[in-house]
Chain A
Amino acid sequence: MRLAGLKGVVRQAGSVAATLLGLLALTFFIGRMLPNDPVLAIVGDQADQSTYDMVRHQLGLDKPLYVQFFLYIRAMLSGDFGDALFTGHRVADDLMKVFPATVELATFAIIIGVGIGVPLGILAAVYRGSLIDHVARVVGLLGYSSPAFWLGLMGLILFYATLGWVGGPGRLDVAYMDSIDTHTGFMTIDALWEGDMEVFWNAVSHIILPASILGYGSMAYISRMTRSFMLEQMAQEYMVAARAKGLSGWAAIRRHAFRNILVQLVTVIALAYAFLLEGAVLTETVFAWPGFGHYLVAGLLAGDMNAVLACVLIVGIIFIALNLLTDLLYRLMDPRTR
C-alpha cells in the first residue's frame, strides 16, 4: 500500500517534469522562430556588423538551436536563469520584483471577486427571476464585456483624477518611494512588517482600483458560476426534505446547498486566480504596475528567451500547484473522498 503510494508520487512528479520540459521546449523553439532579433533589440539599428556579430556571439546565439536549449536547461537546473537581455538585470532579480507585484494585485483582485461574486451568485439563484437576479446578470455581463484597458482609464479619471479617492498609476506615491525596505516584495506586507501604516494605506489606495477592475472580471465569472451551481442544488429533492424537516429557507441554503457546491466553486476560483497570476498586460500598462504580464510581453517582443522561458516555467508551475491544491481542498471538503 505504502509502496504503491510512493510509486504514485514518483509517477506524478515525472509527469509534472515532462510537462514542464515540453512546455519550455515548445516556447523556446516557437520563440526562436519569431522574426524578433534579440541582438538588434540590444545594439540598435545604427550598429555596425562587427558589433552585431560580437553581441550575438556573447549571447551564444551563434550556436545551433538545440545546443542553446540544452545549455539553457542545464543552467536552469543549477538555478541560473541567466540575464534578461531586455532589462540588463538578472532574470531571477527581475522576477523577484515583478512576480510579487502581480501576486499582490491578483490576491486583492480575487478577494474582491470572491467577496462580491459568491454572495451575488447565491442571491441571484435564491431570488431567481427577481430584480436582483437581473441586476446581477447585467453587472456580470458588463464585467465580461468591458475592456480592462478602457475600464482602467475611466476608473482613473473618476476615482483618481476627479474624486481623489484612490492613488494614481504606480504602486506607491513618489513621496513614499524608498521609505520602506523590501522584505517580501509585497508592498502592503512590507509596510506592515515595518509597522508603517501611512505607507500601508498608501499602497492600498494604489492597489484598490486596479484590483477592483481585475476583480470585477473575476466577479462576473464567479457569480455566474455560483448561480448555476446553486440552482442545480436547489432543485434537488434533499432541499425539499430539509425544508420539510423545518429548517428555515436560509439555513437550508447555507447548510446544505452551499456546502454541496463548495467543491465545484473552489475549482472555479482557483482557475480564476491562476488566470490573474499570469498577469494582466493591459491593466498593468494603464496602471504603470511593474508586474509579471508586462514583463513577459516585453520579453517576448524583444525576443528575449531567457526571460520568457523563466516566465513560462512560473506560469506552468502555478497551474500545476493550484491543481494540486484544489485536489487537496476536495479531500478536505468532500466527505466521500476521506
Chain B
Amino acid sequence: MVRAFCAAFASMVLLLSGGGAQAGTPRDALVIAWNLDALITFDPPQIGEVNGNDIIVGNVCSTLAQYDPKDSSKILPGMAESWSSSPDGLTLTFKLRSDLKFPDGTPATAEDAAWSLQRAVLLGYFSSATLTQWGFNKEEIADQIQAADATTLVLKLTKPYPAPLLLSAAFANNNVAVIMSKAVGTKNAKITDGKSDLGNAFFKTAPVCVGPYHVARWDANDVVILERNENYYGPRPGLKRIIIRHVPESSAQRLLLEKGDIDVARLLSTDDLKALEPNKDIRIEQTLMQQMAYMALNTNDPILGNPKVREAFRYLIDYDGLTNTILPYKGVPRADLVPEGAFAALDRKEGQPFSLDLAKAKQLLTEAGYADGFSKKMILSANDINPAIAQHIATNAAKVGIKLELEQMADANLFTRGRNRDFEVQLVGWGAGYPDADAMVSRHAADPDPRAEAKLVGYPVWRTGWQNLDINAKAEAARLEQDPAKRAAIYKDIQEFMLHNGPMAYIYQNIRPIAVRSSVKGFEIAPFFVDYASASK
C-alpha cells in the first residue's frame, strides 16, 4: 500500500511539474496584480474609489482634456481638440474631434458628450460635485450643457471662472468628462418610480465609452480584463489585453512578480519593495500622488480650538526622522495643505518649514495656558503605516505632557466618526480631486458654514468646525481671478496662513510605488492616471 502511494505521489509530482511549467505572461497582455476588493461599479460618474478610477479613466473612458503627464498643472487636448471662452467668460465651447468612435464602431458626437455630462449631474453621485461646484445644477442642466452640432459642445457658466482652472477641475482626467453612448444608455435605462437611472444599472458592469480599451470581463474579487478597441481614435494601444488580478497579499504579489507570472505588482509592502530593489529584472517606480495625510484637530474641542495648541502639534512631528524610518516608498514629508505638483503649491522647502521641536511646542502650550498638558484621543485606520505614524506622534506628545490615546478602527468606521464630527484628533488622508490649489483650498480651508446642522460632511474643514471668513473671501476671489500669476499669489497667501493656523497638521504627501518587470516598456504613471495604453512588451 505504501509503495503504491509513493508511486502515485511521484507520478503526480512529475505531471504537475510538466503542467505548471508554462511560466511567464502572454506577450500581448499586461498582467497586473492588485487588490480589487473596493471595486463596486464601472459606471464612470458613480465611481468613488481609487481603483475603479484608475482602471476606467483614460483607459476605458478617454476624457475631453488631459493633464500633461510630465506636469499635471498643464492641460493638453484629449477628445476635445480645442476650446475657447467667450469674451464675457460665461460660455465655454469645446470643439470635439470628428473621428471619435465607440467600441462597436458607432460614431460618438457632441450629443453623446452633452448627455454624459448632464447625466453625471442628474445621477447625483459624489462625482456630480465636479460640475455642481462650478454652478451646474440639476434644474438647469439641459440648458447649461448643449450640443450645437456634431462636434461642438457649448457650456453656459454662472460665473466667469478662468478657463485653465475649470479645465483642470472639471474636464481633464476625471470620471465625469467622458463620452458615453447615449443610445445604449437610453435603451437600457431602468425606470423606477417614474425616474430613469440613465443606464446606471447597465453601465455598472459594462460601460460604453470612447477609449482605448473596453471592459471584457469583470468577476468580483477575482479578475478584470480589458480588451483593446480597434477603432480607437488615438495611437493604437501597445497590448491587446490588460488583465488585472485580485491578489490581496503583498508577499504573494512579490512571488508572482519574481517568477514572472505577473508584469506589475501594485500593492507591495515596504519590506517586499526593499527586497525587490536589487532585482535586475524588476524596476520600482514611485509616483508622488496628490494626496495628503494629516491630523485633523476638532476645533469644537475647547483645548484644540486654541490656535497655539494646534500650532504646537506641528512641532511634535519629526518630519526628518519619518523620512528615513516609516516613509520610504510611502510618502514625502509635507506640512502644506496643497500637495506638491498642483498649480500654485508651495515648493518642497516652503511647504515643510517645521521640524521636531519639543521646546517650541512646550512654549506654545504654556502660552496657551496648558503648561501641564492634557489628554486627547486620536482615532486612526489600522491599515498600512498609520499605526506607526500615530505611535511616533504620541511618543513625542507625551514628552510635552500631552497624553494621546490611540484608537485604531476600520476605514468605514473612521470615516463615519469624521463625518459625524465625533473625534478629538483624527489621523486620516485626503486625495485632491484635481492638480490645482483650489482642490484642497475649497475643501480644507474655505468653510461655507461651520454650524453642525449645515452637514457639509464632504468638507474636511467643516468636520473640524473651523472657519475663517478672510480665507473664505480669498478662496472665492482666487476662483474668479483670470490672471494666473495673481491667482497663484492668492493661493500662496492662503497656504502660508494655513500652515500655522489651520485646523489640520499635515504630515506627508503619498507616494504610490509600483513594481514592474523590465520586459514592460512605456506604462506611464502620473498622479491622476495610469496609462495602460502606453505599455508594450
A160 at the interface (CB under 8 A from B): yes
A170 adjacent to B245 (CB under 8 Å): yes
Contact of B252 among A49, A166, A169 (CB under 8 A): A169
B20, chain A: closest CB distance, angstroms: 4
B26 at the interface (CB under 8 A from A): yes
Q: How far is the CA of A205 from the CA of B29 in the complex (A)?
A: 22
A242 at the interface (CB under 8 A from B): no
A175 adjacent to B19 (CB under 8 Å): no
Q: Which residues of A contact B259 (CB under 8 A)?
A: 160-161, 168
B302 at the interface (CB under 8 A from A): no
- Name the residue in A47, A157, A287 with the highest tally of chain B Cβ atoms < 10 Å from its Cβ: A47
B20 adjacent to A167 (CB under 8 Å): yes
Of A6-14, A231-239, A269-277, A297-305, the stretch lying at the interface with chain B is A297-305
B456 adjacent to A173 (CB under 8 Å): no
B26 adjacent to A156 (CB under 8 Å): no
A151 at the interface (CB under 8 A from B): no
Q: Which residues of A contact B430 (CB under 8 A)?
A: 45-46
Q: Which residues of B contact A227 (CB under 8 A)?
A: none
Which chain A residue lies CB-closest to B192? A58
Q: Which residues of A contact B15 (CB under 8 A)?
A: 201, 204
Q: A169-B252, A290-B222 are in contact. Are A47 and B246 (CB under 8 A)?
A: no
Contact of A54 among B12, B41, B124, B456 (CB under 8 A): B124
B40 adjacent to A198 (CB under 8 Å): no
Which chain B residue lies CB-closest to A161? B255
Q: How far is the CA of A290 from the CA of B248 in the complex (A)?
A: 10
Mark each residue of chain A from 45 to 83: 1 if its CB lies under 8 Å from any CB of chain B, else 0. Answer: 111111110110000000000000000000000000000
A247 at the interface (CB under 8 A from B): no
B225 at the interface (CB under 8 A from A): yes
B170, chain A: closest CB distance, angstroms: 16
Q: How far is the CA of A282 from the CA of B217 in the complex (A)?
A: 26
Q: A201-B15, A202-B22 are in contact. Are A157 and B262 (CB under 8 A)?
A: no
Q: How far is the CA of A43 from the CA of B411 in the complex (A)?
A: 13
Q: CB within 8 Å of A: which of B409-440?
A: 410-413, 415-416, 418-419, 428, 430-431, 433
Of B81-89, B125-133, B319-327, the stretch lying at the interface with chain A is B125-133
Q: How far is the CA of A153 from the CA of B410 in the complex (A)?
A: 25
A174 adjacent to B21 (CB under 8 Å): no
Contact of B458 among A46, A55, A153, A201 (CB under 8 A): A46
Q: A37-B416, A43-B126, A88-B39 are in contact. Are A48 and B258 (CB under 8 A)?
A: no
Q: CB within 8 Å of B: which of A301-316?
A: 301-303
Q: A50-B124, A168-B255, A290-B221 are in contact. List 15 more A-B contacts (CB 8 A).
A: A44-B48, A44-B49, A44-B126, A46-B126, A88-B39, A153-B251, A153-B252, A156-B255, A161-B258, A170-B245, A175-B25, A206-B20, A208-B16, A288-B245, A290-B222
A-B contact pairs, 27 of them (CB 8 A): A35-B413, A40-B415, A42-B40, A44-B48, A46-B126, A46-B433, A48-B457, A51-B128, A52-B457, A97-B220, A97-B222, A160-B255, A167-B20, A168-B255, A174-B26, A174-B261, A174-B262, A175-B22, A198-B19, A204-B19, A206-B20, A286-B251, A288-B248, A290-B221, A294-B221, A294-B248, A298-B221
Task: List residues of chain B with CB under 8 Å of any chain A CB.
Answer: 1, 12-13, 15-26, 29, 31, 33, 37, 39-42, 48-49, 124-126, 128-129, 204-205, 217, 219-223, 225, 243, 245-249, 251-252, 255-256, 258-259, 261-262, 410-413, 415-416, 418-419, 428, 430-431, 433, 455-458
